[in-house]
Structure 1
Amino acid sequence: MTELPKTFDPAAIEGRWYSHWEENGLFRPERPDAEPWTIVNPPPNVTGSLHIGHALDNTLQDILTRHERLRGKDALWVVGTDHAGIATQMVVERNLESQGLKRQEMGREAFLEHVWEWKAQSGGQITRQLRRLGCSMDWSREQFTMDPHFVRAVNKVFVQLYREGLLYRDKRLVNWDPRFGTAISDLEVETKEVQGKFWHLKYPLEDGSGFIHVATTRPETMLADMAVAVHPDDARYRDLVGKRVRLPITGRLIPIIRDEHADPELGSGAVKITPGHDFNDFEVGKRAGFKAVDMLNMLDGAARVMQTQDGLVPAELIGMDRFDARKRVVELLEEGGFLERIEDKVIQLPYGDRSGVVIEPWLTDQWYVDAETLSKPAIDAVREGKIKVVPKSWEKTWYNWLENIQPWCVSRQLWWGHRIPAWYDDQGNVFVAETEEEAQREAGNRPLRRDDDVLDTWFSSGLWPFATLGWPDDTELLRRHYPNDVLISGFDIIFFWDARMAMQGLHFMKDVPWKTLYLHGLVRDSKGQKMSKSKGNTVDPLGLIDRYGADALRFTLAAMESQGRDIKLDEKRVEGYRNFATKLWNATRFCQANGIGASDTIEPPAAQLPVNRWIIGETVKTVQALDLALAELRFDESSNTIYHFVWATFCDWYLELIKGAIDEETRKVAGWVLDQILVMLHPFMPFVTEELWNALGERPYELILAKWPMPDARALDPEAGPEIDWLIRVVSGIRTARAELNVPPGARLPLHVRDAGSATQARLQRHAVALQRLARIETISDGEASGGAAQIVVDEATYVLPLEGVIDIEAEKARLQKAAEAAEKERDSLAGRLNNPSFVERAKPEAVDKARADHAEKASDAEKYRAALARLG
C-alpha cells in the first residue's frame, strides 16, 4: 500500500497518469479475440481549441469507451481532426496578412505550403487539450482528413458518384459569401432579424398606358430583373399578362407573367422577378421558361456590380459595392419619378456564420450531389430500426429534413481542401477521374486544366466512420469495426454531419455507419442563456480543469446530461463534484489507516456480519442500476447512481457503521467494495480512481484494464438489507429531529422506545452500540418520556427524545411557528404569481423557472417546520 497525501490535488496526478496510459498503449490493448466495439469522435477543426461543447461530447464518448474496455471488449475510439476548409484558410490568411502577404499574390502552391506549415506548428492544440480532459483515444491511429489515404477515399467517392449519375455540375443559385468568395451551405447561414426598409417602386408599361407597382427590400437587384409576376387568379392584372414593362435605369423590356408565387393579399400583388439573385425568383424563372444560362447576373464574386449579359447596366454603377449601389439606384429611381415611398420594416437577413457578412444568392456553376436519392436508405434505416436515435424525439427532425432535402452543393471556391478530381480540355469537356494520369488517358492525352474548386468539408468528413478504418482498402480493421456501435453528436450537426455519414455509409458500405445515434443538447450558462463571446458568458473548460480537476468537470457534465436537454452549467456544481472526489480520497485514506487495502477477489468475500452482507447487496444493486442506465445511455442517471452509492451508502453509512469494529472479515469486504467503487466510477473520473486503485496495493493490472463488476443476485441478502435499512432510518430520523429542533450537537440524550415488536427489540439489542454512537444517544429503554419530547416513528415503533432542560421548548415552538408561517406566506405568494397567465407567458423563461424553484423550496420549508412542530406535540 502507498500512503496517500492528506490533500487531494488533481493537478499532481492527472498529467502523470495520462502519460502513463498513452505511453504504455493502454487505450487500445491487444485483444484480437475480444468482441469489437467502436466509436469515432466528431473530428474537431484543426484550427480549434477545446470549448465546453467539446468537453461534453468527448466526456460522454470517453465514459462509454472506458466502460466497454472494462467489460473486456476490443474498444476502439477513433480520433482525428478535420482540415476545416474555410476556418483554416481564414486563420492562415490572417497570419499572412499580418506579415504583409496576400494569398492571391503568392499563388496557390505557396499558400498551401504555408497552411501545412501552420498545421504542423499549431494544428495539434485541440488534441493536446483532449488529453487534458482524459480522453482515452487510440492516438496511435490519429487521422487527419487531408491524409493521403483519406484523399484517395474522397477521390474514389467523388468519381464513383459521378459515374453513377449521382454527382453532376449545374448552374444554380447558391448561398454566396462575398467575404470568402465561396459558396456555403444553407446550414452555414444564420438568419437575423434587422431593421430594414421596403422600397415601393413603379415600373412603366411599354405602351405608356400606366405603371405596375412592386416593392422590394433590395432595390439594387432591379438591375437584373427579368419579369414581373402576378397571381393567375388576380383579376386586377388579367389584361396586363403578356404585356411588357420598361425597367427604369436599364430600359430593359421584361414580361408580365402569371405565377402562384405572387400573393394577391400582399402589397400590390405584383412581384419583381430577379432569377439570378433570389431563390424563389429562380424557381419562378424556371417555370417561366428562362434557362439558367440566360438568367441575368449583376454581381461579381465580391458582391460588386458588374455588367449583365445584355449590357444595360449604366457604366457609373459598374464596380460599386452592392450596398453603395443600392443608395445610388434609389437616387436614380427617385430622380426618375419611379420611387413611390420607403417603408421601415423588420426583415430577415442571411449572414455567413463565419464571415459575418450578408450572404448573397448568386448564380454560378457548382458541383452537386443527388442528395434526394442518397437520403432514401438513410430514412429507411431509422424507420426500420437499423439506426436507433436517442432521444427518439429527434427521429421526426431526421425524417423531415431528409424527406425534403435539396441537391447538395459540394464545391467550394477555396484553395485549402480536397481539390475536385475533375479536369477540363480547351473545349470545356470535363474528365472526372481519381488521378490526373487517368484523366489524361480518357482525354486522349490532350492538355487539361484541373478544376480550381475544393470539396465541402462535410463531403470528406461524411466518410469518417469507414475511411478512418482503411477504406477503400478491404482492411481487417474495417471488417472488424464497421459499422461503428454508437455516434455521440450535438443535435446541431445532425444535418451537417450525421445525415451525411448515414447517406455515404449506406451507399458505399451497404450498411449503416453506426447502430445508435445519441444526440446531446447544448451547454448553456447557469441562467440557461446560450453562451457567446459577445455576451461574455462563455466558460473555458481548461480553466475549470485548472481550478477543480478534469474528473470534477467530467462528472458535472455527465451528471447534467439528460438525453438531449440543454445543460445549465453552474461552476458550483463543478466545485461540488471536486468535493465528491475529495470525499472518496479521504474515505480511502480512512480505509488505509484501518488496514483495508486492495481486494484479492472479483467475487464478493464471504460475510457473516449483517452490515457486511448489507453493503455487498447494496454494491450489487448499484452495479445492476448502473449497467441498466449505461445501456440506455442515461448519463445523468448513471452518474447519480454511483454518486449516491459512494457518498451516502459507502462513506456516510458503511464506514460509519464499521468504525471501531473493523475485524478481518470487514477489512476484506470493505476492500472489495472500495475496488468495485473505483471500477464503476473510473469511466466518469478516471484520474482519481486510477490513483486510488494503485495506492491500495499491488495489482496485476492498472485500473483502466480492470474487470467490470458482474452483478450476482445471489449476493442480495433478504435479511441483512432490511435490517441495516431500519438502522439507517432510525438514525436519520433522530438526527433530523435534533437538527430541526436546535438540539446542541454535543448533547447525548436518552432514547425511549414504545410499541416495538419483538423483531425491532432484537434489532435494538444487536445495534445498540452503533445507534448510540451515530445518533448521540446515552441510553435506550422502553416506556414514555415525561415533559416535552420529540417523537420519531419508524415502522411500528415510536422513538422518543426527552427535551426538558435541553432546549427551551416554548421558545422553540414559537420559532418554528413563525418560520412555518413565513415560509407558507412566501409559498402562497409565489403560487399566485405562477398561477397568473400574464406572468408565465410574458416573463423570461429563466424568471419563470426561478419562481418555480423558489416555490418548491418554500413549500418544502413549510412542510419541514410543521413536521418539527408536530414532533414537539
Structure 2
Amino acid sequence: MNRVSAENFDHEFPKQYQPKEFEKEIYRRWEELDLFRPEQRFGNPEERPFVVVIPPPNVTGVLHMGHGLNGSLQDILIRYQRMLGRKTLWVPGTDHAGIATQHVAEKELREKGKTRHDLGREDFLKYVWEVKERHHRIISQQLREIGSSCDWNKERFTFDEGLSKAVREAFVRMYEAGDIYQGEYLVNWCMRCTTALSDDEVEYQEEDSFLYHVKYQLVGSDDVLVVATSRPETIFGDVALAVHPEDIRYQNVIGKEVQVPMTDRVIKVIADSYVDREYGSAVLKVTPSHDPNDFEIGKRHHLESINIFTESGALNHNTPPSFQGLSISDARKRAVELLEESGLLIKKDPLHHRVGKCYRCQTTIEPYLSKQWFVKMQHMADLALQAHQDGKIAFYPKRWENTYTSWLSDIRDWCISRQLWWGHRIPAWYCNDCGAISVSREDILCCTHCASSNIKQDEDVLDTWFSSWLWPFSVFGWPEKGSELAEFYPTATLVTAYDIIFFWVARMIMAGLNFMGEVPFKDIYITPLVRDKQGRKMSKSLGNGIDPLEIVATDGADALRFTIAYLSTQGQDLPLDRETFKMGGRFANKIWNATRFLLGNLVNITYNPHQAKNSPLDDWIYGQLNRTVQSVHKAFELYRFDDASHAIYDYFWNDLCDWYLEALKASFYADDTNEKERALAVSINVLEESLRLMHPFLPFISEELYQKLPNKQADYLIIAPYPFYQIEREQDSHAFDLMKIFIGQIRAMRTQFTIAGDQRFSVSIYITNETLRSNLSLYREIMIRLTKLENVYFVTEDFTESQRKEQVVLTLAGEDFIALLDIRKFINVDLELSKIDKEMKDIIAQLDRAKAKLANENFVQRASPDAVSKERERVSICEEQLEHLEERKRSFLM
C-alpha cells in the first residue's frame, strides 16, 4: 500500500522540468554507489561480458560534438546491455596524442616567448604532463556530464606505466621477430612539426599552382630536353632525366648528359618504363630525395640521392649560396626568376592539383629522405583481411567494409618513428664503439653486444597509434596474462568515426590477431559525421561547432543524447544546430508531465499494485508497449539507434500520452474510487516499464522519475531489468485502431461543420463483423468522452434508407463500417451546399483546362511525356474529387 500526501507532492515533484536540478546529483549517486562496475546482478552468468573500450580522446582540449555523439551512443549500448543482465564494462581513457599534445604545449610556450629547447627535454616533458592533467580533468568531467557510465576505477591513459610497458613489449617482440626494422626511406615530412608522418596522417586539399616548362641543355649540343615540373626549387636535387625506353623520340639521347639548370652539375639521361609517354614532353626529372616515385627509380638505377631541405623546411648546403636558408616558397620564386633571366623557362601553365597537408597543423607535406623505424604490414594485413572474409568482424553500416578491405589490400609498411619529445621513446640504443643497436624491454646502461657504456638512446618517439593499436588488450594488463585480460578480451563492440578506420580500427584488428590470436571486437559501428545545417563539417576554423556542454546546460543531457540517437541514421551525416536539441528537450518534458499527471492522481488515494486488473484499454497499451519492446530489441541488434528511439518516442507520445492517458481520464475522474485505484495501479505499472524501456536513451530523467514511483523493481533504474517481449501480451488491436480513426473523423466533422464541443449529439454504429463490433463496443465510454458525444449506440441491423436520409452518414475507408450522426440540427444545409458548389466549380474549371490541353494535338505531340502524363493525372484526380463532392451533396439533399 502507498499513499501520497497533497502537501508534499508539489515540493517533491516540481511542476517544471528542470534537468539542472537533478542530473549532477543522480550521476554522483551512481558513481558513489559504484553502479558502473562490471557486476553480474542477474541474467546468465555463463554469458560473456559485454565490453567496450572507449576510443580515447586526445588530451589536447575539450570534447566537441563528435565526442558527444560517440560517447552518447556508446553509453546507450552499455546501459542497454547492463539492464539485460550481462556483466558490462566500459573502459574510459585518454590518448597522449604525440604530435597534437606537443603542438599545444609548444604553442603555449611560444606565447610566453619560449621554446621546448629553452626548457630542455626533461623539463619540457614535465610541462606537457601538466598540460595533460589540466585537459584530462576537463574531459573526464565532460564525459560524466553527458551521462557516460564508464567504470572510472579502470580508467587508462596511453602513456601510463602499464601501457608504456605494453608498448615496449610489442616493439621488442616485433623487432626480435624481424617485423620492425630501421631504414632510410622517403617519408612524409611536416616542416612545421619537424617529424615524419604516416601516409594515413596526410590530408589532401585541392590547390592552384603552376606547371613550369624548363629547358635542360644537352652537353656538347645545341639541343635541349624540356621538363615540366611544379616544383622548380627541387631542380638542385636532380640526379638524372628519365625517358621511356621504347619512346623513339629519345632513343638517341639515352646515356648522354645534360646540364642541371642554375648549377654547374651535369647528369645523365636514363631509360625507365615508369615514364608516361603521353604526359607532357615525356621527359621526367629524377629527384630521389623529394619524390616517392623518383625514389624508386633511383633505387632501380643505383642513383645518388641529394637532399636539399633542412628538417624545418629551409634549403640546405646542397643548394647555391643564394638559396641556402630560404623557405621553400621563397626558393621557388627565386628559382623561377633565375630560370626566366637565363632563358631556360619556356612557359608556365596553370595547374590545379591535390597537395598533401599535415593532419594536425595543415602545413604542406614534403617528401623527405631520412632514417626511420618501420613495421612490416603485409602479413598482418593478410590476417586482418582473412578475419573479415571469415565473418569474425562486421561493420555497421556494411558499406564501410569496403574502406577497410581497400586499405588493407594496398597496404604499405608503417613508419612508426616520430621526431618528437612527447611520447613513448623508442627502446633502441646505439653503441658508439661497436656501432650495434640494442633493443630492450628495460632501460640499459651498456651495449648488449660489446658491453660498452658509450651508448645513447634513440631520440625519436613512437607514433601515437603504436600505443593505441594495443588499446583493447593493453588496458587489461597485457603483456601480463591476468584474470581481467582473460575475462574481458576480446571486447564486444567498437563505436568510432569513419576517418580512423585505417588509422586505428584496422590496426587494432591486426594487433589483436598478432599478439592475442583473436580479433579485438566483433561489431564495428561507424558513427555519422556531425555537420551544421548547411552541410559543412563542424570545425574551429569555420566557427560552426557546438559545445555539447552548452546543450547540457540549456536543455539537459537527456535532450542531447536522445536527439543524437533519434537522428543517427546509418550511412547518413548528422546535421545539427542548437535548435535541433529542443526536440529531445520537448520529449523529456512530455515524459516529466505525463509522470507528474499520473502520480498526482495518487494524492490521497491508496495505491495497491495487486488491484491491477486489466481493462480492454489496459490490454491495448500493454500490447503497444510489447510491440515497442520487440522493435527496440531488434533495433539494438542492428545498431539502429534511430529506429529504437523513434519507436520509444512514438509509443510514449502517441500511444501512452495522446491515447491511453487521455482515455484513462474517464476512470480518474469517475465517482467510483475502486475504478480509479484500479486504473492508477495499472497505469503506474505501465509507466514503470516504460521508464525502464527508455532509460538507455534518457538516463537522468528516467532515473529521477523512477525514484518517485511506488512500484520500483530495483533500488536504481540503472540496474533494473530491461523490458522483454512477452508473447502472451500480443492481441488484435484492430478495434482500438478503428476507434482512433472514428474519433479522428468525428473531430474532423465538428471542425468541418463548425459544431462546438458543448453541442452534443449521438452516433449509431453498425459493423457487419460481430467480433469487431463487440470489441469496439468495449471502448464505448472512451469514444463518448474523447469526441464529446451524447451517446454511442452499437446496432445489430443495417440502417434503413429512411434512417440514412434523416442523419449524416459516416463510413470509414477499407472497413465494413457505417455510422449515422445525428448532426443535421447543427448544420446550416444551405451554407454547406454553397461551399460544395463553390468547390465543385473550381474543380470543374481545372478539369476543363486539362481536357482542353489533351484535346490539343499540338500539345500532345510537342509537350514532354511527363507534361502530358501530368495533365491526364489531373483529369483523373478532378473527376474523383467531383464524384466525392456529389456524394456529399446528395447526403445533404436526402
- The verdict on how the C-alpha distance between 1:163 and 1:816 changes in structure 2, with shifts beyond 3 A counting, is farther
Correspondence for 2:332 among 323, 326, 329: 326
Q: Does the aligned pair in 2 maintain the 1:370–1:407 contact within 8 Å?
A: yes
Residues 1:37 and 2:50 aligned together: yes
Compared CA separation, residues 525 and 864, structure 1 to 2 (3 A): farther
Counterpart selection for 1:693 from 683, 701, 706: 706
Q: Find out whether 1:17 has 2:26 as its counterpart.
A: yes
Greater mean deviation of Cα atoms: 338-347 or 221-230? 338-347
Note the 1:500-579 alignment, pairs <5 A: 500-579=507-586
Q: 1:277 to 1:638 in 2, by over 3 A?
A: same
When residues 600 and 124 of structure 1 are mapped into structure 2, their CA distance, relative to the original with a 3 A threshold, is: farther
Where 1:264 maps in the other structure, the secondary structure is: coil
CA contact (8 A) 1:203 1:246 kept: yes
- Secondary structure at the aligned position of 1:354 is classed as coil
Question: Structure 2 counterpart of 1:421, which letter?
Answer: P
Q: Highest Rg: 1 or 2? A: 2
Partners of 1:202 and 1:339 within 8 A in 2: yes
2:638 pairs, out of 622, 628, 632, with: 632
| Secondary structure of 2:187's aligned partner | strand
Residue 347 of structure 1 and its aligned partner are, at CA, apart by 2.3
Q: Which runs of 5+ in 1 are unaligned?
A: 825-857
Q: How far off its partner does 1:447 sit?
A: 1.6
Tell me how far 1:617 sits from its aligned partner: 2.1
The alignment status of 1:753 with 2:759, answered yes or no, reads no
- Over the aligned positions, Cα root-mean-square deviation in angstroms equals 2.9
Hey, what's the Cα distance between the residues in 1 that align with 2:743 and 2:651?
18
CA contact (8 A) 1:788 1:809 kept: no
User: Are the aligned partners of 2:436 and 2:449 in contact in 1 as well (CA < 8 Å)?
Assistant: no
- Please say which of residues 585-594 and 483-492 is displaced more in the overlay: 585-594
1:69 matched to 2:82? The reply is yes
Q: Deviations over 1:391-411 (max 9, x none)?
A: 221112211110101110111
Q: 1:56 aligns with which of 63, 69, 74?
A: 69
Mapped to 2, the partners of 1:590 and 1:272 lie a distance apart of 81
- Residue 163 in structure 1 maps to residue 176 in structure 2: yes
Compare 446-455 and 663-672 and name the one that shifted more: 663-672
Equivalent in 809, 816, 819 of residue 799 of structure 1: 819
| Aligned residue pairs, count | 827
Query: Per the alignment, do residues 591 and 755 of structure 1 end up closer, same or farther by CA in structure 2, a change over 3 Å counting?
Result: closer
The letter of the residue matching 1:30 is E
Amino acid at match of 2:622: I
**Alignment partners' CA distance in 1, 2:217 and 2:348:** 19
In 2, the alpha carbon distance for the partners of 1:50 and 1:523 equals 13
- State the secondary structure of the residue aligned to 2:804: coil
The correspondence for 2:128, drawn from 115, 123, 126, is 115
Aligned to 2:312: 302
**Letter of the structure 2 residue corresponding to residue 339 of structure 1:** L
Is the 1:751–1:800 contact (alpha carbons within 8 Å) kept by the matching residues of 2?
Answer: yes
Matched, 1:491 2:519: no
Per-residue deviation, 1:793: 4.2
Q: Secondary structure at the match of 2:162?
A: helix
Alignment match, 2:432 = 426
Q: CA offset at residue 448 of structure 1?
A: 1.1
Supply the AA of the counterpart residue of 2:715. Answer: Y
Secondary structure of 1:30's partner? coil
Q: Secondary structure at the match of 2:113?
A: coil
| Residue in structure 2 matched with residue 4 of structure 1 by the alignment | 13
CA contact (8 A) 2:811 2:817 kept: no
Alpha-carbon distance in 2 for matches of 1:181, 1:415: 11
Structure 2 residue aligned with 1:351: 357
Verify: 1:672 aligned to 2:685, yes or no.
yes
The amino acid that maps onto 1:112 is: L
What amino acid sits opposite 2:545 in the alignment? T
Which residue identity is paired with 1:682? H
Q: Decide whether the 8 Å contact of 2:558 with 2:700 is kept in 1.
A: yes
CA contact (8 A) 1:206 1:246 kept: yes
Amino acid at match of 1:762: S
Asked if residue 784 in structure 1 is aligned to residue 785 in structure 2, the reply is no
Structure 2 counterparts to residues 701-716 of structure 1, below 5 A: 701-716=715-730
Once the two structures are TM-superposed, the CA of residue 670 in structure 1 deviates from its matched residue by 1.3
- Distance in 2 (alpha carbons) for counterparts of 1:790 and 1:722: 19
Aligned to 1:449: 456
For the residues of structure 2 that align with 1:499 and 1:870, how far apart are their CA atoms? 68
Secondary structure (helix, strand or coil) at the match of 1:777 reads coil
2:616–2:778 contact (8 Å) kept in structure 1:
no
What is the CA–CA distance in structure 2 between the aligned matches of 1:387 and 1:416, rounded to whole Å? 34
Cα drift, residue 789 of structure 1: 6.7
- Larger displacement relative to structure 2 (527-536 or 4-13): 527-536
Task: Report deviation, 1:185.
Answer: 2.1
Contact conserved, 1:605 with 1:672, CA < 8 A, in 2? Answer: no
Q: Distance in 2 between matches of 1:477 and 1:774?
A: 59
Deviation at 1:278, TM superposition (A): 1.0
Q: Is the 8 A contact 1:789 1:804 kept in 2?
A: no
Match of 2:735 among 715, 719, 723: 723
* Deviation readout 1:632-674 (Å, 9 max, x if unpaired): 1111111111111111111111112221215244333212211
- Cα 1:52–1:202 change in 2 (3 A) is same
Structure 2 residue corresponding to 1:26, chosen from 16, 35, 38: 35
Residue in 2 aligned with 1:618? 624
- Name whichever of 23-32 and 807-816 sits farther off: 807-816
Q: Provide the C-alpha distance between the structure 2 equivalents of 1:188 and 1:821, rounded to a whole number of angstroms.
A: 67
The one-letter code of the counterpart of 1:266 is: Y
With over 3 angstroms needed to count, the CA separation of the structure-2 counterparts of 1:332 and 1:817, relative to structure 1, is: farther
Distance across 2 between alignment mates of 1:12 and 1:868 = 56
Corresponding letter in the other structure for 1:553: L
- Corresponding position of 1:152: 165
Q: Is the 2:188–2:368 Cα contact (8 Å) retained in structure 1? A: yes
Q: Is the 8 A contact 1:40 1:79 kept in 2?
A: yes
**Cα deviation, residue 871, structure 1:** 8.3
Relative to structure 1, the CA distance from residue 200 to residue 598 in structure 2 (aligned partners, 3 Å threshold; closer, same or farther) is farther
- Specify the SS of the correspondent of 1:157: helix
Partner Cα distance (2:168, 2:772) in 1: 77
Q: Distance in 1 between matches of 2:173 and 2:191?
A: 32
TM-score by length of 1: 0.89
- The equivalent residue for 1:364 is 370
CA distance in 2, matches of 1:192, 1:804: 75
| Contact 2:532–2:576, Cα closer than 8 Å, also in 1 | yes
| 2:441 alignment partner, SS class | coil
Paired residue for 1:843?
none
Deviation at 1:619, TM superposition (A): 1.9
Partner residue, 1:766? 778
In structure 2, the CA distance between the partners of 1:768 and 1:187, relative to structure 1 (3 Å rule), is same
Aligned identity (percent) is 40
Structure 1 counterpart of 2:15, one-letter code:
K
Asked whether the equivalents of residues 431 and 452 of structure 2 are also in contact (C-alpha less than 8 Å), the reply is: no
Identify the range of structure 1 (323-332 vs 748-757) with the bigger mean alpha-carbon deviation. Answer: 748-757
Provide closer, same or farther for how the CA distance between residues 260 and 626 of structure 1 changes in structure 2, counting only shifts above 3 A. Answer: same
Matched, 1:199 2:205: no
- Tell whether 2:832 aligns with 1:809: yes
Residue identity opposite 2:692 in structure 1: V
> Which residue of structure 1 aligns with residue 787 of structure 2?
775
Write out per-residue CA displacement over residues 530-567 of structure 1, whole angstroms, 9 at most, x where no aligned residue. 22334333222222222211111111111111223211
Determine the C-alpha separation between the residues in 1 that align with 2:257 and 2:882.
85
Distance 2:681 2:64 in 1: 44
Q: Which residue type is aligned with residue 513 of structure 2? A: L
SS of 1:88's partner is helix
Residue 179 (structure 1) aligned with residue 188 (structure 2): no
> Could you tell me how far 1:125 is from its partner in structure 2?
1.2
Q: 1:547 to 1:25 in 2, by over 3 A?
A: same
C-alpha contact (below 8 Å) 2:39/2:88 kept by paired residues: no
Instruction: Rate the CA distance shift 1:58–1:739 in 2: closer, same or farther, 3 A.
Output: farther
Give a deviation string over 1:811-837, Cα, whole Å, max 9, x none.
65478779999999xxxxxxxxxxxxx
In the alignment, is the contact (CA less than 8 A) between 1:753 and 1:800 conserved in 2?
Answer: yes
Q: Give the C-alpha shift of residue 352 in structure 1.
A: 1.4
SS at match of 1:60: helix
Deviates more, 1:451-460 or 1:530-539: 530-539
